[in-house]
Structure 1
Amino acid sequence: MNYETQLVGDSMTVIDDDDARRRRKRLLLIGGGVAVVLVAAAAFISMRGDKAGDTAAPTAQVPVVTVVSPGQSTVARTVSATGSLAARIDMPVGVVGEGGMVTRVLVQPGDWVRAGQVLATVERSVQAEQVRSLAAQVEVQRANAKLAQAQLDRAKALVGRGFISAADIDQRTATRDQAEAQVRVAAAQLAEQQARTGRLDIRAPASGLVLTRTVEPGQIVQAGGGTLFRMAKDGEMEMQAQVAEGDLATLRAGNSATVTPIGSTQKFAGRLWQVSPVVDPQTRQGIARIAIPYNAAIRPGGFASAMLTSGSGTAPLLPESAVQSDPKGSYVYVVNAKGQVERRDVTVGQVSDNGVAVTSGITGTEQIVTSAGAFLTPGQKVKPELAKGR
């Protein structure tokens, strides 16, 4: 038998080895029991937490969203384009006469003028003297013709008495005819010079709007020297829209269009009057010319966008709030059969007061979220509610 000796106070105590082992065993059993109790308590608390979570989950609210099933509506097929504004008929006006020094400029850009109205005048002192000289020549020739006629009349009165022969009458008649011809020649020369002088007036070739002026008094101009004024005939304007080759084939003269100048909120109704018969081989685009009435906001040389109607068809029509966009493009949210939100990428067509036409991506039979789409995420569970009036 083993014994342990232990000093207690001032005396020595002898402890049996078996008793020591029994004490250690009891301590181990007590420690194990405490551990088991702690594990059981932790498991109980965890189970209660799970049950509490299970009871709380069903109480979470599912958002209610307004949806619409738009079906198919008749909408206009449109083609969007950009291009430059210009005069429908741009008329350059220059010098048609001899030229010279400009003495007066009578119009400013923005003025309306009538056909034949004088826009500017050129100095004509030399030409005026030539006109007076030729006018005097006409008078001289008329006097000669008058004298020749008088001599012929006197000769005819004497021919019956035998003083004048028939040959003399013929000679005097020829002299009279020659004098009258000289009058006509002098008159023609006078008219020619007057016409040349008149061409020193720079006139409007037709009624319209003066667009530009590049001449000032004192400036020397000459025939073929360049454009002094530019005019828009009758003030008519147009947009020269750049249209893709594929879209160009769908357009016809007479199609309606809406033109919006860049930087302006005004929209102008126009009509397509010419479709280019050729396509640029580099850009693969052609010109669609849209006639628009005159307005001060339409400035030739400016830039504009246009929406051209190229026919009609059927497509789902959605409110603008239903269509979202991000860097990937336009999309809508659709509620599926499980009540979950799905993203659908779509292609947007014409936007009008009636809504947004969707040309691809949906058929119109889906339940499409009309509002609050920005706060939803794909896969989120929602409660759809059909919009009123649908």
Structure 2
Amino acid sequence: MDSLAGTQTYYEEADSRRKRKRLIIAVVLIALVLVAAWAAFSAFKGGDAAAGADGAAAAGAPSVTVMVPGRVSVEAVISANGTIAARREMPVGVAGEGGQVVRVLVEPGQWVGAGQTLAIIDRSVQTQQAAGLAASIRVAQADANLAQAELERAEALVGRGFISKADMDRRRATRDAANARVSVAQAQYREAQARTGRLSIVAPAAGLVLTRNVEPGQIVSSGSGVLFRMARGGEMEMMAQMAEADLQRVSVGTRATVTPVGTALQIAGQVWQVSPVINAETRQGMVRIAVPYSSAMRPGGFADARLVSGSSEAPLLPESAVQSGVDGNFVLVVDNKDVIQRRPIKVGEVTDSGVSIASGLTGQERVVVLAGAFLNPGDKVKPVMQKSSQ
């Protein structure tokens, strides 16, 4: 080989050796790249298979609406119904002798003041009687004046011996009798005036006229019964019948909201009397709720009442979240692994806002709101938090 150094053949062989070495290095590098690519592909394929399995499991889990109820103030409400009546009803009739009604001055639904005349009874006879008694007073007074004058003249003569002491005593007695007759006549006159005044039927107190049972021309007397009915001050009440158990939760001063039938009014009132007895047949008692005057509150009508007997802190759920079974009421909750769990509960007050939970929940659980009937304990779910309504 050395003998060929510097020759053309030498340089050709050296160049060939360099090409073979480069080829071998290139083949080795390509092999390494292929091995690395195969390893990466295998790892990627295994990870993708695992992710696909997890994704398939997640995709198969149903979405359910849940809520965290927390704890809110819940009012204990008792519902009742009953009849509307005047709180203090005043029957008005004839207080005097009576007679023929001349005029009726009021109508039902009218407000009147204390002492206001409701109806007038004919008093022509009583007026003449009173006039005669007034004249008798004047006659008696004239006799009394004459007797007094004669007594004074006699006293002036008694000192001269013209009038005896016995005669003076008689004159004094005459004077005293005349004065007494004046007093009797005056008393009779005042009595006649009082009788005449009682012929007017008047309101015993200010209030609202409820009924009128008299017409002009009618003959009335003390036995005619009630001619007018009034509500003193226009005050009304609702007489609500309540179950014995509910009656124990109500006391004087309990707030109430009264709604007359056929209206959407909500009239605020409060209990002013609770019946001390229970009806042995119906097992109910009477609660009387005082309410202010309203044109919708008509005595004899029907009304509903909602009484607030207290309040407490408790979780509040919509009715759709509470389910019932053979063991009682329960709800479904989602645990921290998104698995359905069944939770027994005790239901408290049921209001328009929802159902309060007396026991069984702390208020921090994720409670299934909808589709609970299609789920079973142990099911894997995808919880979706309910949006606030506020």
For normalisation by structure 1, the TM-score amounts to 0.75
**Structure 1: distance between partners of 2:258 and 2:64:** 37
Deviation, 1:223, is 0.7
- Structure 2 counterpart of 1:243: 242
Per-residue CA distance 1:142-198 (angstroms, 9 max, x = gap): 111111111111111111222112222221111111111111111111111111111
Deviation, 1:362, is 5.0
**Structure 1: distance between partners of 2:252 and 2:387:** 42
**Would the aligned equivalents of 1:332 and 1:368 in 2 still touch at CA under 8 Å?**
no
Deviation, 1:367, is 2.6
Deviation, 1:305, is 1.0
- Structure 2 counterpart of 1:219: 218
Quick one: which amino acid aligns to residue 189 of structure 1?
A: Q
**Structure 1: distance between partners of 2:225 and 2:66:** 66
**Would the aligned equivalents of 2:316 and 2:357 in 1 still touch at CA under 8 Å?**
no
One of 331, 334, 350 as aligned partner of 2:332: 334
**Structure 2: distance between partners of 1:109 and 1:117:** 15
- Structure 1 counterpart of 2:116: 117
Deviation, 1:256, is 1.0
**Would the aligned equivalents of 1:130 and 1:193 in 2 still touch at CA under 8 Å?**
yes
- Structure 2 residue matching 1:176: 3-state secondary structure: helix
- Structure 1 counterpart of 2:270: 271
Distance 1:103 1:325, change over 3 A: farther
Per-residue CA distance 1:120-152 (angstroms, 9 max, x = gap): 011121111111111111111111111111111
Distance 1:63 1:154, change over 3 A: farther
For normalisation by structure 2, the TM-score amounts to 0.75
Distance 1:287 1:119, change over 3 A: same
**Would the aligned equivalents of 2:323 and 2:331 in 1 still touch at CA under 8 Å?**
no
- Structure 2 residue matching 1:217: 3-state secondary structure: coil
Specify every segment of 5 or more residues in structure 2 that has no aligned partner in the other structure, as ranges: 1-52
* 1:34-183 map, 5 Å: 64-183=63-182
**Which one is further off, 308-317 or 239-248?**
308-317
Distance 1:348 1:356, change over 3 A: farther
**Would the aligned equivalents of 1:341 and 1:378 in 2 still touch at CA under 8 Å?**
no
- Structure 1 residue matching 2:190: 3-state secondary structure: helix
**Would the aligned equivalents of 2:113 and 2:206 in 1 still touch at CA under 8 Å?**
yes
Deviation, 1:347, is 4.3
One of 329, 339, 354 as aligned partner of 1:356: 354
Per-residue CA distance 1:298-350 (angstroms, 9 max, x = gap): 111111111112223332223x5756899x9x988634446459798874625
Distance 1:342 1:140, change over 3 A: same
Specify every segment of 5 or more residues in structure 1 that has no aligned partner in the other structure, as ranges: 1-53
**Would the aligned equivalents of 1:343 and 1:378 in 2 still touch at CA under 8 Å?**
no
Please state if 1:200 is matched with 2:199. Answer: yes
Distance 1:103 1:357, change over 3 A: same
**Structure 1: distance between partners of 2:108 and 2:60:** 69
Deviation, 1:63, is 5.2
- Structure 2 counterpart of 1:15: none
- Structure 1 residue matching 2:374: 3-state secondary structure: coil
* Aligned-pair Cα RMSD in Å: 3.1
**Would the aligned equivalents of 2:343 and 2:360 in 1 still touch at CA under 8 Å?**
no
**Would the aligned equivalents of 1:342 and 1:379 in 2 still touch at CA under 8 Å?**
no
Deviation, 1:84, is 0.7
**Would the aligned equivalents of 1:339 and 1:384 in 2 still touch at CA under 8 Å?**
no
**Structure 1: distance between partners of 2:373 and 2:185:** 96
**Structure 2: distance between partners of 1:263 and 1:345:** 37
Distance 1:359 1:115, change over 3 A: farther
**Structure 2: distance between partners of 1:74 and 1:125:** 71
- Structure 1 counterpart of 2:230: 231
Per-residue CA distance 1:54-88 (angstroms, 9 max, x = gap): 9x986967554442222333323222111111110
**Would the aligned equivalents of 1:155 and 1:164 in 2 still touch at CA under 8 Å?**
yes
Quick one: which amino acid aligns to residue 297 of structure 2?
A: I
Distance 1:262 1:274, change over 3 A: same
Per-residue CA distance 1:355-386 (angstroms, 9 max, x = gap): 3342557534543344xx3x664327642233
Distance 1:325 1:201, change over 3 A: farther
Deviation, 1:92, is 0.8
- Structure 1 residue matching 2:253: 3-state secondary structure: coil
**Would the aligned equivalents of 1:67 and 1:369 in 2 still touch at CA under 8 Å?**
yes
**Structure 1: distance between partners of 2:323 and 2:145:** 95
**Would the aligned equivalents of 1:252 and 1:272 in 2 still touch at CA under 8 Å?**
yes
**Which one is further off, 73-82 or 254-263?**
73-82
**Structure 2: distance between partners of 1:208 and 1:324:** 51
Distance 1:115 1:367, change over 3 A: same
Distance 1:245 1:137, change over 3 A: same
Deviation, 1:109, is 0.8
**Structure 1: distance between partners of 2:136 and 2:162:** 35
**Would the aligned equivalents of 1:75 and 1:357 in 2 still touch at CA under 8 Å?**
no
**Would the aligned equivalents of 2:334 and 2:367 in 1 still touch at CA under 8 Å?**
no
**Which one is further off, 70-79 or 249-258?**
70-79
Please state if 1:260 is matched with 2:270. Answer: no
**Would the aligned equivalents of 2:347 and 2:359 in 1 still touch at CA under 8 Å?**
yes
**Structure 1: distance between partners of 2:145 and 2:257:** 72
- Structure 1 counterpart of 2:16: none
